[in-house]
Amino acid sequence: MAVTVFIPTALRQFTGERAEIAVEARTVGEALDKVTGEHTELRRHLYGEQDKLRNFVNIYVNDEDIRATQRLETPVKEGDTISIVPAIAGGAATEEKVQGGSAVKTEAASLPTLSNEEIARYSRHLIMPEVGMEGQRRLKAARVLMIGTGGLGAPTGMYLAAAGVGTLGVVDFDVVDASNLQRQIVHGTKDVGRPKIESARDRLNDINPNVKIEAYETRLTSENALELFRDYDMVVDGTDNFPTRYLVNDACVLAGKPNVYGSIFRFEGQASVFWAAKGACYRCLYPEPPPVGLVPSCAEGGVLGVLPGIVGAIQANEAIKLILGGGEPLINRLLLFDAWKLRFRELKLRKDPACPVCGENPTIKGLIDYEEFCGLRPAPAQGAAADKTEETRQMEEITASELKQRLDRGDDLQIIDVREPNEYEIARIPGSKLIPLGQVVNRQDEIEQERETVVHCKGGVRSARAIEALTRSGFKGRLVNLKGGITAWSNDVDPGVPKY
């Protein structure tokens, strides 16, 4: 049976950038075996110990999750599509359309009134029977908390403010950087260097002075999340990292709040509504995060500027529907969007009875250390071996300044750049050799093992992965990671090297 396996953008570096691979197979497992047999590095990212699929990788046949069928033994027929859906930085659900009901609990008689100015402003809403006066008053009564004012938070906040959501809470602690302006449309050139929370507040107030902006210039943590979430009707997740994404999910489940989810990478996006009271949560979809560095951030992998605008607008749309209590919210549905092909796909989600936070017997009853959960902070080692364990875990690093000093005194070093060719065209360290991360294992014979090798990328994440891959493959030479990558070189050694 000829079936097509769809490869997500984040994993195409291991398939020679192939997005679709046709194979002859009778089952899902057989199809994946053929694909990963040809692309062996891909297999390591899909399968873990005992050759089991990793928990942060989901497989769908057409729109059905194989966890709900026969898993890898799920049969496939001619023309079926198999989609690999990894995390990108998850009573059982039915196939019926889920009517969410309004997330705003205020009784109709107690809803705030609209002034004549507001009636004129929202007139295009008011003449729609799906919104009307009561719906607009519900929007005015609503309290929505947005986590982040970046790529996703920018359009989401702007549309929610324009729609007349009465109170917008905004959580952010970053400052506006010039590289943000390609997509974070709530900020402008004049805002570079300003706290994002201030820039966003000014812009949202300008869009609609009737909206109350409650700004929280702080990092979302396990210590403050439940308190922040308590007084809001829902949370819009505009985060860009896995620890915060799991934190938002767990806090929403514990607080009983809908989680309006969105994520982006390069030209692909995802959106859903995770509301444990009515269906699946994020952990039902992705029980565990991917290993550190497996999924590049937007800073490492890039993002098409308009993509967060599209996905953020979808998040705003879902939030508005939840407030109005109408339409068909993305509960128990995962929407996939490919901006490059302009293609939408939808996958079904199911509540996992064994989910540790929203399942039948939850084991997570409070917020945990999400940095440790996502592998960004090692768990404390036990006993006298703790110091030795930590020592063996460290990867050898060199700073940009130290590298420059060693090059100036003539040390015999080779510099391997594991970024992509288009990045190499933007900026490069003199004398470096380009071997992209996805090719580094197969091209290791181009790296002289008798020489000390400094490996670098943009910020140090991909180069660390390259060193790990080379070490696993048996490379015997000395490998050193450039701390901070070429960005640190530009900051500390040669400002003439462009930053991107």
- Tell the burial category of 68 from Cβ atoms under 10 Å away from its Cβ (0-12, 13-18, 19+): middle
For the segment 180-198, the average pLDDT, to the nearest whole number, is 96
Partners of 147 in the β-ladder: 171, 237
Percent of the chain topping pLDDT 90: 78
- pLDDT of 391 over the 60 cut: no
pLDDT score for 86? 86
pLDDT score for 45? 82
Partners of 27 in the β-ladder: 75
195-237 pLDDT, tens digit per residue, is 999 999 999 999 999 999 999 999 999 999 999 999 999 999 9
For the segment 238-266, the average pLDDT, to the nearest whole number, is 95
- pLDDT of 254 over the 90 cut: yes
pLDDT score for 11? 86
For the segment 111-135, the average pLDDT, to the nearest whole number, is 96
- pLDDT of 392 over the 50 cut: no
Confidence class for position 389, pLDDT limits 50, 70, 90: very low
pLDDT score for 390? 34
Average pLDDT over the chain reads 90
pLDDT score for 12? 87
* Rounded alpha-carbon distances, angstroms, from residue 459 to 27, 298, 486: 40, 12, 7
Confidence class for position 294, pLDDT limits 50, 70, 90: low
Residue 376: both structure tokens together? 């960004």
Confidence class for position 68, pLDDT limits 50, 70, 90: confident
- pLDDT of 449 over the 60 cut: yes
- pLDDT of 21 over the 50 cut: yes
- pLDDT of 385 over the 50 cut: no
Confidence class for position 101, pLDDT limits 50, 70, 90: low
For the segment 344-365, the average pLDDT, to the nearest whole number, is 95
Under the phi-then-psi rule, with left for phi > 0, alpha for psi from -120 to 50, and beta for the rest, what region is 417? beta
Q: Provide the edge-to-edge strand list for the sheet that holds 452-456.
A: 397-398, 479-482, 452-456, 413-417, 433-434
- pLDDT of 253 over the 60 cut: yes
- What residue has token string 């549309």? 159
* Residues involved in catalysis: 298, 457
pLDDT score for 296? 67
For the segment 425-438, the average pLDDT, to the nearest whole number, is 95
- pLDDT of 148 over the 90 cut: yes
Confidence class for position 295, pLDDT limits 50, 70, 90: low
304-334 pLDDT, tens digit per residue, is 999 999 999 999 999 999 999 999 999 999 9
pLDDT score for 91? 33
For the segment 412-433, the average pLDDT, to the nearest whole number, is 96
Give 12 or 484, the one with higher predicted confidence: 484
φ/ψ of residue 357, rounded to 5 = -115, -30
Give 188 or 90, the one with higher predicted confidence: 188
Confidence class for position 96, pLDDT limits 50, 70, 90: very low
pLDDT score for 384? 38
HEC string of the chain equals CEEEEECCHHHHHHCCCCCEEEEECCEHHHHHHHHHHHCHHHHHHHECHHHCECCCEEEEECCEEHHHCCHHHCECCCCCEEEEEECCCCCCCCCCCCCCCCCCCCCHHHCCCCCHHHHHHCHHHHCCCCCHHHHHHHHHHCEEEEECCCCCHHHHHHHHHHHCCCEEEEECCCECCHHHCCCCCCCCHHHCCCEHHHHHHHHHHHHCCCCEEEEECCCCCCCCHHHHHHCCCEEEECCCCHHHHHHHHHHHHHHCCCEEEEEEEECEEEEEEECCCCCCCHHHHCCCCCCCCCCCCHHHHCECCCHHHHHHHHHHHHHHHHHHCCCCCCECEEEEEECCCCEEEEEECCCCCCCCCCCCCCCCCCCCCHHHHCCCCCCCCCHHHHHHHHHHHCCCEECHHHHHHHHHCCCCEEEEECCCHHHHHHCCCCCCEECCHHHCCCCHHHCCCCCEEEEECCCCHHHHHHHHHHHHCCCCCCEEEECCHHHHHHHHCCCCCCCC
Domains and CATH numbers, the chain: 2-86 (3.10.20.30), 142-373 (3.40.50.720), 396-492 (3.40.250.10)
- What residue has token string 């692909």? 268
pLDDT score for 293? 63
* Rounded alpha-carbon distances, angstroms, from residue 430 to 251, 404, 408: 48, 11, 12
- pLDDT of 251 over the 80 cut: yes
For the segment 480-499, the average pLDDT, to the nearest whole number, is 96
pLDDT score for 360? 95
φ/ψ of residue 444, rounded to 5 = -65, -20
pLDDT score for 377? 63
Selection from 55, 32, 52 nearest residue 42 by Cα: 32
Confidence class for position 10, pLDDT limits 50, 70, 90: confident
